[in-house]
Amino acid sequence: MSASGGSADLLIEGVGKRFGEVVALDHVSLKVAQGELLTILGPSGSGKTTLLKVVAGFETPDGGRVTVGGVEITALPPAKRDIGMVFQNYALFPHLSVAANVAFPLEMRNIAKPEIERRVAEALAMVELKGYEARLPRQLSGGQQQRVALARAIVFNPRLLLLDEPFGALDRKLRETMQLEVRRLQRRLGLTTIFITHDQEEALVLSDRIAVMNRGTIQQIATTTEIYERPANDFVADFVGESNIYHGTMSGPGTVTLDGGRTLTVRSDKPAGTKVGVLMRPERFASSGTNAFTGEVIESVYLGTSFKLRLACEGGLELLVRQPARGALPATATRVTVGIDPESIHVF
């Protein structure tokens, strides 16, 4: 593999990994197109970090193949993979200056000095760190350290970029800035990127596609809107965004009878008798709609732009509802009616 092959596609086929009794990865397969940013989203212990380590070469899978740009790399040591990685706590070399940190991967590739200087300057300009060359990592803020880590990971023109929860240590404002910056840089360089996070909001902001993982398996891979609007199962629906999830049976064309007895009008061509899940996003409720619910407010919270209400409705149904913050916040124990249209209900 050449030292400057540039961005390539990634193919993971049937990768498995156990740690003793624990199955960290259960035959995981996925494909990332060249230039795509795929987020692996999952709770801690879902196997997402193990998958990233397998791709980076820090963990050897028990089975399966990892292919980058058509070349299998499953057994290759990390040093030979040409993969740029930004670690959770950046893992900058504490004894080396910013410039020396960024020059490190180029020196390891025996690139000529003038060329190294040129590319380091270019990479530092790209992450807006001109003038910081001589500083040590500890003399930088968290955001600046992250930029150095990013510059170091892209300076050698890697085949893939891996980001392991890189924004966790930053405060909210800075995190949002960095997210957009990373996204811009990744697009500009056309770099195939895998981004690991447990933060679903972050995943929605950054990704082309999201792979939701749980218990060592991929629950769903789809575009961000697809994941949010049409989740494949309970786990995805619950993990991404706020949700009201109920289970029931198709009782006719476009009608679901929930296990509690309540009937809903939905858009679904699933045959009658099919066991289904029903997802209603809290912000999709309006003051009226085809399916109306009346219930007692058991919790009401003012969130600035919206009200968040928890309603106890007939048939044991409990609904989380978000309404635009207009007028007075409904008091607890008052009765409120809300409605939702069939097209806003996702049946899975």
Partner 1 sequence: MNRSIFPALPALILLFVFFLFPVVRMLGFSVEGGTFDWYAKALGEQLYLRVFWNTFEIALLVTFFCLLLGYPLGFLMATTTPFWATMGFIFVLLPLWTSVLVRTYAWMVLLGRNGVFNRTLIEAGVITDPIPMLHNFTGVLIGMVHVLLPYMVLPIYSAVRKVDPAIPAAAAGLGASSFAIFRRIYLPLTLNGIFAGSVLVFVLSLGFYITPALLGGGRVIIIAVLIEQQVREALNWPFAAALSAVLLAATFAVYALAQRYSQPVETTR
Across 107-234, the runs of DSSP E, i.e. the strands, are: 160-164, 193-197, 209-214, 217-223
Q: Is the distance from CB of 78 to CB of 58 less than 8 angstroms?
A: yes
For 56, half-sphere exposure in the C-beta direction (CA atoms, 13 angstrom radius) is: 21
Q: Does 58 bind partner 1 (CB under 8 A)?
A: yes
Per CB under 8 A, the list member of 44, 79, 131, 269 interacting with partner 1 is: 79
| 311/280 Cα distance (integer angstroms) | 14
Among 152, 159, 308, 346, binds partner 1 (CB under 8 A): 152
Residue 231 binds to partner 1 (criterion: CB under 8 A): no
**Of the listed pieces 41-49, 78-86, 239-247, 266-274, which binds partner 1 according to CB under 8 A?**
78-86
Contacts with partner 1: how many residues (CB under 8 A)?
A: 29
| 111 vs 132: CA distance, rounded Å | 22
* C-alpha span between 108 and 69 (Å, rounded): 22
Strands (DSSP E) contained in the chain are 10-19, 22-32, 37-41, 63-68, 71-72, 83-86, 160-164, 193-197, 209-214, 217-223, 244-252, 255-258, 263-265, 275-280, 291-302, 306-313, 318-324, 335-340, 345-347
Distances (CA, A) of 170 to 105, 142, 180, 191, 196: 25, 7, 14, 23, 16
Distance CA 342, CA 159 (A): 45
Q: Is 89 in the site for partner 1 (CB under 8 A)?
A: yes
* Residue 156 in contact with partner 1, rule: CB under 8 A: yes
Query: Is residue 147 part of the contact set for partner 1 (CB under 8 A)?
Result: no
Closest approach of partner 1 to the CB of residue 15, in Å: 19
> What is the smallest separation between the CB atom of 116 and partner 1, expressed in angstroms?
13
Among 76, 91, 204, 320, interactor with partner 1 by CB under 8 A: 91
Selected range binding partner 1 among 88-96, 180-188, 274-282, 291-299, rule: CB under 8 A: 88-96
Taking CB under 8 A as the binding criterion, the range among 26-34, 102-110, 259-267, 274-282 that sits at the site for partner 1 is 102-110
The nearer residue to partner 1, 160 or 250, going by C-beta atoms, is 160
Using the structure block, give the residue that is written with the tokens 């404002």: 173
Task: Restricting to residues 107-146, name those near partner 1 by CB under 8 A.
Answer: 108-109, 136, 138
> Which of 91/329 has CB closer to partner 1?
91
Q: For residues 109 and 118, which CB has a smaller minimum distance to partner 1 in the complex?
A: 109
Q: Which residues of this chain interact with partner 1, rule CB under 8 A?
A: 3, 56-58, 77-85, 87-89, 91-95, 104-105, 108-109, 136, 138, 152, 156
